[in-house]
Amino acid sequence: MNASELQPVVQFLKGLVPFDTLPDEVILRCAKAVIIGYYSKASAYVSFDANAPKLYIVRSGAFEVRDPEGVLVDRVGEGEFFGFSTLLSGEKVVNKVAILEDGLVYHLPQHLFDQLRSESRNFDKFFTRAFAKRLRHEARFKAKDLTTTSRISTLMSPDPIAIDAHASVTQAALLMRNARVSSLLVTDNHKLVGILTDKDLRNRVLAAGLDGRLAVHQAMTVSPISISSNALIFEAMLLMSEHNIHHLPIIDEGKAIGMVTSTDILRGQGSQPLLLIGEIERQQDLASLISVSKQIPLLLQNLISADARAEEIGRVLTSVTDALTRRLIVLNQQLLGDPPMAFCWLAFGSQGRQDQAACSDQDNGLLVAEEMDDYAKGYFDALTHAVCAGLDQCGYVFCPGNIMAQNPQWRMSLKQWQHVFEKWVITPEPKALMHASIFFDMRSVYGPQTLFDALQDKVLAQTRDNDIFLAGMTGNSLIESPPLGFFRTFVLERDGSEVKGIDLKHKGNALINDIARVYALSAGIKEVNTAKRIRALMDANILNRKDALNLADAHEFIAHMRLANQGYQYTQGQKVSNYLLPGHLSSLVRHQLRDAFKVVHDAQSGMKMKFMRSF
Amino acid sequence: MSILLVKARLNWRALRCQHQLFKDYYQSLVPLLAMPVSEAPLVAMDLEMTGLDPLQDQILSIGLVPIEHGVIPLEGAQQKLVQIRGSVGQSATIHGILDNHLVQAVTIEEAMAWFIAKTRGRVLVAHHSPLDCRFLQQDILAIYHQAVFLPSIDTLMLEKHRLLRGHHAIKEGSLRLGACRERYGLPIYSAHSALTDALACAELLLAQVAAMGGARQLKVAELMQQSS
């Protein structure tokens, strides 16, 4: 028999993920092994043969899978599967499958299913991943690396050149000459203690009239500013321009593993976000800042169409907002004169988390070092109004909830902020909890880090292991739950209702943000970016590795879908929103989104178990 | 045809038939009549012919799709192309069979021996089965000199009875295989060959049986009765 003869079955399997990647002869082998059954509503449930587990492939009709407690697990239609969890686990069938609409189902025997899994990695991954709720992305979803978003590690030389702190500067100069480098890492007992550059040799040795026997540690730059190996190139460049330096040691797990110079970075230049940030930093007045900020939506579209990772897009866009904020602060200080005291500009919410996307509004506040007198009050009132109004004109509209530094309520001294946070933590009322999701994701965009740390450390000390507060936060975040999946062109909610579309922000990423926040606050973790929080929770063994990676992947995948959807809306000339209509999703994407939702739901259950047990 | 009559004819033929091949064939069918559809081995068939006249036209291909325990194991699905005298002629455009495809084809003698062996102990199912049966009978007569009795289930007649019971007007074309399948929400198959049509017929029967009360309730004999 040749392939054309069982054409209806062969054609169907060929178009079906994950069979679509199998070679023709394997598809024909599958088609020949298929047993076709017809299921009628009249018999209510699919009856399973415990001795012969099979993969059930729905050819027509509709089915509903429920667990032994009657909780809806899935609703499946044409081209979807059931029965595979039994095949994978080898356990008895426990789920019940109700027949919603009459239809044909292809049965694939266990031995062939196992054979396909061992022959095709792709086939295996499709089912085992669904089963284990793993979400490691397909190559097609792996975002491309752009110059603008690629990692700093791609630029550095693999074996860094280092010298001992007690060596002489002559030895150092020889090493630099032979290796043709302009700088060295200086180590003491394998620990990074400084860097030595051409400039140091000129300024601190020759110009000072010292000779070549001087020890390296006497000429080096002590405790240099460094950057993590997984930082983005543009972040390194920002750091360099902020501190006016040209060399950055790269640190991985506390060890110096390389060095990157401004020349290295210039070689990979031409990146749009960097140019934009550079342009922002050059502008001398509000009018020109407004005109520069008009490029931001285009930047977002370019990043989306370049298929950058969602997390990186968030970081890039937030860096632009940060730069704009800082520039507005600096320009207005030039008009108003020096501030009467140290202050930090606080970013909350999505800017705090570094996951800004399209149409972000402002969430900010001002932290000042001491109690303000009338002059200080007047000064900061003028400064914050000018900055907030500037941001508004640059496209970051005023916060509808009035959480802005220009609102005197959110312009406070360190003591007052500490007091406000304390009140929220001690009496977690609904309004306090609503605020918490915004305010607890805070980051300083401008001002001395020590001032900000004084606030954050105090807050974290209060939230850490605070059962009542954490239970309140958990309860608040469980109000929303992710959908179950998709059924035909609808989104399937957990209660079985079918709705037209899904808000990927509020029923997806926001839920993961909530989970990461509660755990981070419970453990006193300083990170506010969700991916970084999850990473820190994993490193601290608060989340197990598998759950943490699943959650991080789900976060990235949903955010990626959200951005891709916005890119699609933008190109279609539609209003850009977080609302996804499942109609045009491929079956693979539906499958993966479903897995991502499952991860979120499981993480919600885990959080509930951990923090709400006693309530 | 009344079921008692079918049974009597099969027994009578089994008793009187001089040809062992057909004696066995009849005997293998007798016990199936009283079986529920969920138990009885059936086989859906479809023939492609050069025309509609059994006396003049020839069989081009035969597709067989077994139905066992109420499901269709595709492992047993088979198709034979048959050599014909002369050219495929006009019908090639209908069936997509070209002369050079017939290189894989077997003689009509081989095809009939294969058909009898494959369908022994199975009740035939076809859409508009009388036509297919007349072609088979004609060839068997020519080869074995036996006027065979081929009891069958006709999915077209099952559908006609169902529509009449529901007081539906039967419009032209509404009993075609594709139209019948559509009423049960079965997928549309664009490709046509003896095998795909036999498969389409087998699936239609399963849907019809489900609509008639289920494979466990219905006996083979009842389906045969409603096939006339």
Question: What are the domain boundaries of chain B?
Answer: 3-224
Average pLDDT, integer, range A425-453: 91
Residues written for chain B: 228
pLDDT band at A434 (very low <50, low <70, confident <90, very high): confident
The minimum CA-CA distance between B71 and chain A, rounded to whole Å, is 5
Average pLDDT, integer, range A115-132: 80
Out of 3.30.420.10, 2.60.120.10, 3.40.640.10, 3.40.50.2000, select the CATH number for domain B3-224.
Answer: 3.30.420.10
Q: A476: part of which helix (H) or strand (E)?
A: helix A467-477
The minimal CB distance from A42 to the residues B70, B189, B210 is found for B210
Q: What angle do CA A534, A535, A539 make, to 5 degrees?
A: 115
Tell me if A192 sits within 8 A of A161, measured CB to CB.
no
* Per-residue pLDDT tens listing for chain B (228 residues): 577 888 888 888 888 888 999 999 999 999 999 999 999 999 999 999 989 999 999 999 999 999 999 999 999 999 999 988 766 555 555 555 555 555 678 999 999 999 999 999 999 999 999 999 999 999 999 999 999 999 999 999 999 999 988 877 888 889 999 999 999 999 988 778 899 999 999 999 999 999 998 888 899 999 998 888
pLDDT band at A472 (very low <50, low <70, confident <90, very high): very high
Q: What is the 3-state secondary structure (H, E, C) of A235-250?
A: HHHHHHHHHCCCEEEE
Tell me if A534 sits within 8 A of A555, measured CB to CB.
yes
Mutate which: B80, B186, B192, B197, vs A, most A CBs within 10 A: B186
Element counts in chain B: helices (H) and strands (E): 9, 6
Sign of the torsion formed by the C-alpha atoms of A123, A124, A125 and A131: positive
Per-residue pLDDT at A143 exceeds 70: no
**Gap between the Cα atoms of A467 and A615, Å rounded:** 10
Residues of A in contact with B214 (CB under 8 A): 40, 42-43
Q: Percent of chain A scored above 70 by pLDDT? A: 92
Mutate which: B65, B72, B125, vs A, most A CBs within 10 A: B72
CA A293 from chain center: how many Å? 24
The answer to whether residue A34 neighbours chain B at the CB level (below 8 Å) is yes
* Four-CA torsion A446, A447, A449, A450, nearest 10 degrees: -160
Q: What would the two tokens of residue A145 be?
A: 């690396």
Q: Which residues of A89-109 are buried (b: 16+ CB within 10 A; e: fewer)?
A: eeeeeebbbebbebbbbbbbb
Average pLDDT, integer, range A368-396: 95
Cβ separation of A4 and B210 shorter than 8 Å?
no
**Gap between the Cα atoms of A244 and A241, Å rounded:** 5
The verdict on whether omega for the bond into residue A18 sits within 30 degrees of 0, i.e. cis, is yes
CA B124 from chain center: how many Å? 5
Q: What is the pLDDT of residue A611?
A: 93
Tell me if A359 sits within 8 A of A576, measured CB to CB.
yes
**Gap between the Cα atoms of B55 and B43, Å rounded:** 25
Residue-wise pLDDT tens digits, A45-78: 998 888 888 999 999 999 999 888 888 888 999 9
Hey, which residues 293-312 in chain A have their CB within 8 Å of chain B?
none
Q: Closest by alpha carbon to A234, among A352, A322, A349?
A: A322
pLDDT band at A526 (very low <50, low <70, confident <90, very high): very high
A500: helix, strand or coil: coil
Residues of A in contact with B210 (CB under 8 A): 38-40, 42-43, 102
The answer to whether residue B203 neighbours chain A at the CB level (below 8 Å) is yes
Domains and CATH numbers, chain A: 3-132 (2.60.120.10), 152-267 (3.10.580.10), 272-406 (no CATH), 472-611 (1.20.120)
The answer to whether residue A203 neighbours chain B at the CB level (below 8 Å) is no
Residue-wise pLDDT tens digits, A588-608: 888 889 889 999 999 999 999
pLDDT band at A144 (very low <50, low <70, confident <90, very high): very low
Q: Amino acid identity of A251?
A: I
The answer to whether residue B149 neighbours chain A at the CB level (below 8 Å) is no
Cβ separation of A37 and B70 shorter than 8 Å?
yes
Q: What is the pLDDT of residue A586?
A: 82
Tell me if A315 sits within 8 A of A295, measured CB to CB.
no
Mean pLDDT rounded to a whole number for chain A = 87
Residues of A in contact with B75 (CB under 8 A): 32-33, 35
Nearest CA in chain B to A101: B185
The minimal CB distance from B71 to the residues A5, A32, A37 is found for A37
Residues of B in contact with A7 (CB under 8 A): 189, 191, 193, 196
In sequence order, the β-bridge partners of residue B68 are B71
Per-residue pLDDT at A265 exceeds 80: no
Residues of A in contact with B202 (CB under 8 A): 36
Q: What would the two tokens of residue A187 be?
A: 């180590």
Q: What would the two tokens of residue B195 be?
A: 């095998």
CA distances from B122 to A556, B67, B117 (A): 57, 9, 10
pLDDT band at A23 (very low <50, low <70, confident <90, very high): very high
The minimal CB distance from A43 to the residues B73, B211, B214 is found for B214
**Gap between the Cα atoms of A537 and B49, Å rounded:** 72
Q: What would the two tokens of residue A98 be?
A: 């109700």
Tell me if A569 sits within 8 A of A153, measured CB to CB.
no
Strand pairing category for A579-580 and A502-503: antiparallel
Residue-wise pLDDT tens digits, A154-174: 667 666 788 999 999 999 999
Cβ separation of B187 and A101 shorter than 8 Å?
no
